[in-house]
Amino acid sequence: MASSGKAGLFLIFVTVFIDLLGFGIVLPLLPRYGESFHASKWELGFLMASFSAMQFLFAPIWGRVSDRIGRRPILILGLAGSTVSYALFGYATSLGADGMLVGLSALTWLFITRIGAGIAGATIPTAQAYIADVTGPSERAKGMALIGAAFGIGFTFGPLLGAFFVSDVQEAAPSPAPGYVAAGLSGLALLFAIFKLPESLNSDSKSSKRHWLDFGSLQTAMGHPHVGMILGTIFITTFAFGQFETTLSLLTKNLGMSQQDNFFAYAYIGFILTISQGFLVRRLAPKIGDYRMSLFGVITMTAGLLALGWVAVTGSANMLYALVPLAVIGYAATTPSLQSMLSLSSLESEQGGILGLGQSMSALARILGPIAGVVLFNEGKTPANPYWFGAGLMALGLIAVLMLKNAGFRPGESRKQENDSIEPQTELD
């Protein structure tokens, strides 16, 4: 890889990492802030889902536009949008539950800021395209791993940083400081991109398809052996984990944990996720194979969600720290193995389209999971509902994974091109 390519990778990593620090600061606060602003269970669910919904809608748009005008302008635009959205989040928080701004309630402004942050944050695929521009085929996977590393490290250190700007009293009023800190970090990344980040798009760069869920392609994919079960398991796994992520802040509140302790819990999860994906899964997957890794992940995540349901009933903060790694490690093991199995179950000519469907299923699950999680958490007599429901879904996922082997899935074998006259698809989705 040329030195300019290495410099570009470093710069894109730093840019994405700083921006994701802001994301890690704000995410743990949303459920608690939403409750403080008198959001109903449905409003809180939609507030949590709005970010993912905007990413689902706008990621293909930013991808196409970046193919035309370049990666750098879109990345700068996204960082500017994040800066403004987080600053508005801080200001809306400062208004208080009954505050108004230009005739709109503070809760409405929270929705506006999350929608804006989702639109701005949908530029992550553009960052991936930047990496594709500056890396050769042999270095591509290593380059793409930088985005995952930026997510893991940002999600670990963002909550740790946010903990210094909130009270250690459980019922403290929402503080605008985390929003302003997140805005400052995104502003720093914006300046870094403006003055240091070069353009990567050139005449040799290939456009990449960015699309929403294609129901025609979905119907075709379901006709292939194993693909339907794998797509369904991807949806189930992401849906169940999305419920957990969304309701964790509400659970820590029920357990008597302060806003500061809540940040520490999220940082703990980010650390476990980073270690699991960076070391445990990376080292074990080549040895035991994708199928066994997915089986281990689904079983472990099911057990973890059942354990979280027990924690929600018993009300033990110490047991939360002891048992939450089960769910996180299970998710870390399941996600990459299912994506790999999806690729192995697809024709060489359909790799891009099938993997794109996998991404779409994950995106839809991240929209619907938070809504279901918040509603279930606030329904009935126990806050354990979303975790037990998630465990039930994961049991279905376990059945689907077991059925893969019974249906003849052969771990380690990819499906070959059935028709040599078909041009293999090389574009990234």
Look at the block and give the residue holding tokens 């979905």.
218
pLDDT at 425: 35
* CA 267 – CA 159 distance, rounded (Å): 5
Does domain 1-205 match CATH 1.20.1250.20?
yes
> DSSP string covering 363-401, please?
HHHHHHHHHHHHHHHTSSS-TTHHHHHHHHHHHHHHHHH
* CA 216 – CA 73 distance, rounded (Å): 33
State the pTM of this model. Answer: 0.77
In this structure, of 66-80, 93-107, 300-314, the range with the lowest mean pLDDT score is 93-107
In this structure, of 18-22, 105-109, 307-311, 344-348, the range with the lowest mean pLDDT score is 344-348
Structure token pair of residue 279: 């070391």
Which of the 8 DSSP states describes residue 418? S
* CA 78 – CA 357 distance, rounded (Å): 25
Residues 6+ apart with CB under 8 A from 123: 59, 62, 74, 75, 77, 78, 79
Over the range 106-116, which residues count as b (16 or more CB within 10 Å of their CB) and which as e?
A: bbebbbbbbbb
pLDDT at 87: 93
Domain boundaries, the chain: 1-205, 211-414
Q: Tell me, yes or no, if the two domains 1-205 and 211-414 fold the same way.
A: yes
Q: How confident is the model at residue 83 (pLDDT cuts 50, 70, 90)?
A: very high
pLDDT at 140: 65
CB atoms within 10 A of CB 16: 26
Look at the block and give the residue holding tokens 């940083």.
161
- CATH code for the part of the protein at 211-414: 1.20.1250.20
* CA 231 – CA 214 distance, rounded (Å): 13
Q: How confident is the model at residue 174 (pLDDT cuts 50, 70, 90)?
A: confident
